[in-house]
Chain A
Amino acid sequence: DVKVTQSSRYLVKRTGEKVFLECVQDMDHENMFWYRQDPGLGLRLIYFSYDVKMKEKGDIPEGYSVSREKKERFSLILESASTNQTSMYLCASSSSGGWGNEQFFGPGTRLTVL
């Protein structure tokens, strides 16, 4: 059974803290993505990676960074958390070799920044 796992389902942090969200996939996928999901806004892409150590900015990268040291793991980092980063964060992966391949999503991390 293919799987994308995220390190936490719920997380509460204080303003200014450094926050790490971890994502691991077991499908040997080349592409990995981080989205945030807010009501009425759908999913917005923060960063994606198409290979180890490769990354590209999505639509809303400000205040975030990412790390991909191993193919199966993609980390999202909030350098200094702010209240407007309170959201649901979703990680996804997909194989390469064609546009629009299926994305497999993790269950999400609901982050609250106080």
Chain B
Amino acid sequence: TQLLEQSPQFLSIQEGENLTVYCNSSSVFSSLQWYRQEPGEGPVLLVTVVTGGEVKKLKRLTFQFGDARKDSSLHITAAQPGDTGLYLCAGVTSGTYKYIFGTGTRLKVLA
């Protein structure tokens, strides 16, 4: 069974701080996605990365796909209370419709 481990599981920081969330696997993925889920809602896609070593930026969020396409990271610069939520990574293996979701990182940004 493919697994995606996320770390840390919980993170509580002050507004303005930087943070990094990691998503690791022993499996190779053809693409990897990051979602954010707010209370009472379903996850919403933030970004998809498909090339090993790829870096994508979305305002204060920077996403990186590992060179070997087994891991990814999400870096948030100057976190704001609006960044609070559950962050999930999801990997897709070519030839399958299945998305393997990570265990999740629950982020709380305090004003």
Q: Considering the complex, which residues of chain B in the window 1-56 have a beta carbon less than 8 Å from any beta carbon of chain A?
A: 1, 4, 6, 9, 30-33, 35, 40-45, 48, 50
Chain A residues with CB under 8 A of B32: 100
Also in contact, A103 and B45, with CB within 8 A (given A42-B101, A59-B1): yes
Residues of A in contact with B, size category = 20 to 34
B33 partner, pick from A40, A100, A105, beta carbons under 8 A: A100
Q: Considering the complex, which residues of chain A in the window 1-57 have a beta carbon less than 8 Å from any beta carbon of chain B?
A: 4, 9, 31, 33, 35, 40-45, 48, 50, 56
Contact A105 B43 (CB under 8 A): yes
Contact A106 B42 (CB under 8 A): yes
Q: Does A102 contact B (CB under 8 A)?
A: yes
Nearest chain B residue, comparing its CB with the CB of A108: B42
Q: Does B98 contact A (CB under 8 A)?
A: yes
Chain B residues with CB under 8 A of A59: 1
Instruction: Name B's interface SS.
Output: loop
Chain B residues with CB under 8 A of A48: 97-98
Also in contact, A105 and B50, with CB within 8 A (given A31-B97, A100-B31): no
Contact A99 B42 (CB under 8 A): no
Contact A107 B41 (CB under 8 A): yes
Least distance between A74 CB and chain B CB atoms (Å): 13
Nearest chain A residue, comparing its CB with the CB of B29: A100
Contact B92 A40 (CB under 8 A): no
Q: Does A92 contact B (CB under 8 A)?
A: yes
- The docked-state distance in angstroms from the alpha carbon of A41 to that of B106 is 12
**Leading 5 A-B pairs by shortest Cβ distance:** A105-B42, A100-B31, A100-B92, A43-B101, A42-B101
Chain A residues with CB under 8 Å of chain B are: 4, 9, 31, 33, 35, 40-45, 48, 50, 56, 58-59, 90, 92, 99-100, 102-103, 105-108
10 additional A-B pairs beyond A40-B104, A100-B30, A103-B99, beta carbons within 8 Å, are A42-B88, A42-B102, A44-B101, A99-B30, A99-B95, A100-B92, A102-B48, A105-B44, A107-B42, A108-B42
